[in-house]
Amino acid sequence: MDTNTVNVPSPRNSKESGLNMIMFHLRNSKFGLSISDIAKKTGLNRNTISRYLTILATLGQVEIRTVGPSHVYQLSERLPISPQFLAVQPEPTIVVNNEGIILALNSYMRESLGNTLGIDTENLVGKNYKELNSELFNIITALPEYVNALNGKMPTVGAWTYLETSAARCRLWILPIIFFDGIPGIMIQAETWICPEGRK
């Protein structure tokens, strides 16, 4: 018996077969696979693979990263979110992509950053947190929980941590997420802002 042979689960129809084969090989890949890699392993047409991967990325099932000229796909352990998800969050929430670009923040986060911490929130979206030179963002991005979430190294339930700056302290929930285009990111939710006396 060939020890390099891997048994792929048998499907009920050809569509299920293609999807099962792709998922099987992604599940068994340590570093992810390109469309060419998947085509070699499955014998499927590259266009078919691309369609399946687009669907899987839209559902938040796979992450996409760029390695040189190729896109590499791997199964996601992140929570899939949409812009509507952010709007209904009852706590101050901010979303950044894997490059540190602030993509969105809800009205509660705008209020917390603006009123409580004195941060100008008008032009935050689209900026890299490094450009802000803010004590708050510098501390958050140095947290091990942030780094782990950025690298997808924590469970989809996220992690709680405490943050203290000269302006305030709070409890943060840091969660690895995936956007509907398959790009990974992080959601940070703040709870219990406490300001030193005299600061409003």
Domain chopping of the chain, boundaries: 14-75, 79-194
Can you tell me whether residue 196 is helix, strand or coil? coil
Q: Which fold has domain 14-75?
A: Arc Repressor Mutant, subunit A (1.10.10)
**What is this structure's pTM?**
0.61
CA distance 53 to 16: 13
Q: Tens place of pLDDT for every residue, the chain, 200 residues?
A: 344 444 444 444 455 578 888 989 998 988 899 999 999 999 999 999 998 888 887 777 788 888 888 889 988 777 767 667 777 788 888 888 888 888 888 888 888 777 766 777 887 888 888 787 777 788 888 888 888 887 777 666 678 888 877 767 788 888 888 776 667 788 888 886 665 554 44
Q: Which fold has domain 79-194?
A: Beta-Lactamase (3.30.450)
Can you tell me whether residue 128 is helix, strand or coil? strand
Backbone angle region of 127, left / alpha / beta, with phi > 0 → left and psi within -120 to 50 → alpha: beta
